[in-house]
Structure 1
């Protein structure tokens, strides 16, 4: 128990002036008698030795001490059962408390402070920074951190997972940011770096070995439970939490990474360098950078290569989303080649589809040409495709069509009419008009059309031009006509054989 100076002065005054005994002082001040003994002994008085009262546990102490010396990690519950079998009459609470005092303490381990030369080593680790909502997906927000051990220069990049592809992208981006490669990269025992280890025998991930061969650095794994070996990157992650991420606002992952890059080059680089307090981290990095290994001419390929299979529908599943492919490739194995921005689908050596990558979940990313090609082949799917087109552009389409069915109207005609309105007015206008029709309790096609016309007149825009193109146009062969008869009509029928006056 810690007491203030005022309490110590009262204890000394009551003892030396009022001649109170230790127990009286403790009772009046509401403290334990051991606190009074400690204050008096610090004042130079001999420590009071009190006789320890005999406990019901005393006869069992030799057995307990001997057992703990043989089995130091034996639990108090098991020791209590063993003592009860030997006649111990007490309860478990006091027994456990006494065992905690008797259990031998492990000698704390001392660590050496490790030094590193400029350009010699970098330390790498992941940090978890909550979650990021992207569409329907809740993705883990992971920070990839690399720290140069001598200058303490930090590279920080955020990803939505800590898979092998993100790990490789972080490595390559860090090397490019430093414009060089450290001779040794020290990793924690993460699965993307270390597949398994048995003591000093370590099996690294094949992708990491390919990366190290390309950039000529040596991968090393930190020893388990040795925080001093990778303390620089762990302190850097704590520094990032407190001085960068806390209270930070960002609109997207790209915005967060842009702020992280600016922070690493600015605020983070302006702090004092622990290796040389006369230098800032940025100044120390300028001295360390020439000692890094040179970058190779071509960067390492960090694109994801995943073998997928198109099933009965012309889509392949990649990273929880479906991407369309030409319908000729259903029931075949394909390869997805993806980066952070783009997804390419390959059959053999040919790229058959290219899409923007989505990090949402359950999305259906389509190329209109893929679906339309299949649509033209399957005339029975026309009605379903028309409904799906409406549902893709508006969340009001499904409730509106359900109201139309409940009112007993023909669904096919309503779907065709709504698709025509979609072509005439556009997706945004139709979405707002359908929502307004449902809100005003007018959920039928003509109500939607009237709302669209009213909105168009209010904007003083001309009406849309109706263009009707048949779904299927047959190839007719037109036989050219003989125009010689028309040529005969253009010539005079006869020439006059006598003067006009003879007819008089």
Structure 2
């Protein structure tokens, strides 16, 4: 037997290359080629048909991921392109508005917590961000929030850009009070078309910025605490360098405001107003909460008004109830003085008059004299 070092391999087993052997799969037709004509026929009729529906229609039983990858390759040949232009914003022309819903539950009293909306407004030219948490997305609160933010800005953009928010309106049909609000401010509220996110891209990016830079790691004890922390953070956010403009929002704000409209001399109507007859239980409903009223107004019409912070009830211009507005739902807010007054009135109503009591009764001779009745002695009363 020859030594191992002298082994001679047969000629047919000699290694013909320096690289190790590799597995090479024999080429074969992909299963997608057999259904591609059917996919193209369906996309020709409906370019936006989902890949899952296409797979069902053509009877695909292979890998869903592989099918989606090939549909994504084919679809651009049939789906119309939707290019997005770069938009430039003139100073003072517009502010984009939106609602941001931070994923944190805010304590609102009575052991309850809610996810509350934050009204965000961004001046498109300077990218200056204004924001405030509000109690609801109803029209009265949206208008009150916009007026407060614009009042803090000290000027009014020539256009306020909104999507189809219900509290503002739908399909260019404004909600009650919105047109009057815009008229007092001499501005226009513009509702963008659906599926056109570029028209509100500035405020959408601001919402994302709030989500990732303001919210993490914070704890809020109340809506007031949220607004306090947000108010302290916004000056820092508006001093950041914006890559798109190459400047800080605070540096561009002066030129932006110079091209805006002045605030109106008379504030617009915001919040909520109603006129109701006060029932026996002396409570009125505002939003989804009940607020007590002084029981002296029972059975009479009272005027209810509310802003972002206060609910006021008045009778003939005289206040008969004032409460801090609750941001909760289904709550009953009671003034102890109203309960005490109701107890006193109920006691007086239920106390019977003593027998023989004549207080408040008029002498019948007064009526004789009033009608000229002749008495027995011949005298005319």
**Which of these residues, 189, 207, 212, is aligned with residue 237 of structure 1?**
207
Aligned Cα root-mean-square deviation (Å): 3.6
Q: Which residue is equivalent to 1:131?
A: 105
> Aligned pair count?
333
Distance (Å, rounded) in 2 between the aligned partners of 1:214 and 1:378: 47
1:288-315 deviations in Å (ceiling 9; x for gaps): 2222211112222323113445434122
- The secondary structure found in structure 2 opposite 1:191 is coil
Name the TM-score, length of structure 1 as normaliser. 0.57
* Contact kept in structure 1, 2:138 and 2:167, CA below 8 Å: yes
CA distance 1:208–1:274, change in 2 (3 Å): farther
Correspondence list, 1:425-444, <5 A: none
CA distance 1:274–1:117, change in 2 (3 Å): farther
CA distance 1:376–1:213, change in 2 (3 Å): same
Matched, 1:104 2:79: no
Distance (Å, rounded) in 1 between the aligned partners of 2:62 and 2:349: 74
* Contact kept in structure 2, 1:76 and 1:96, CA below 8 Å: no
Distance (Å, rounded) in 2 between the aligned partners of 1:209 and 1:330: 35
Say which one has the larger Rg.
1
**Which of these residues, 284, 292, 301, is aligned with residue 252 of structure 2?**
284
User: What's the CA shift for 1:126?
Assistant: 0.8
Q: Which residue is equivalent to 1:180?
A: 155
Please list every run of 5 or more consecutive structure 1 residues that lacks an aligned counterpart in the other structure: 1-15, 25-32, 34-49, 85-90, 383-470, 475-504
* Contact kept in structure 2, 1:308 and 1:317, CA below 8 Å: no
* Contact kept in structure 1, 2:168 and 2:178, CA below 8 Å: yes
**Which of these residues, 28, 43, 54, is aligned with residue 52 of structure 1?**
28
Matched, 1:259 2:229: yes
Distance (Å, rounded) in 1 between the aligned partners of 2:215 and 2:275: 37
User: What's the CA shift for 1:272?
Assistant: 1.6
Structure having the larger proportion of residues in helix = 1
Structure with higher RCO (Cα < 8 A, 6+ apart): 2
* Contact kept in structure 1, 2:135 and 2:308, CA below 8 Å: no
Correspondence list, 1:136-151, <5 A: 136=110, 137-151=112-126
* Contact kept in structure 2, 1:342 and 1:355, CA below 8 Å: yes
Q: Which residue is equivalent to 2:185?
A: 215
CA distance 1:19–1:126, change in 2 (3 Å): same
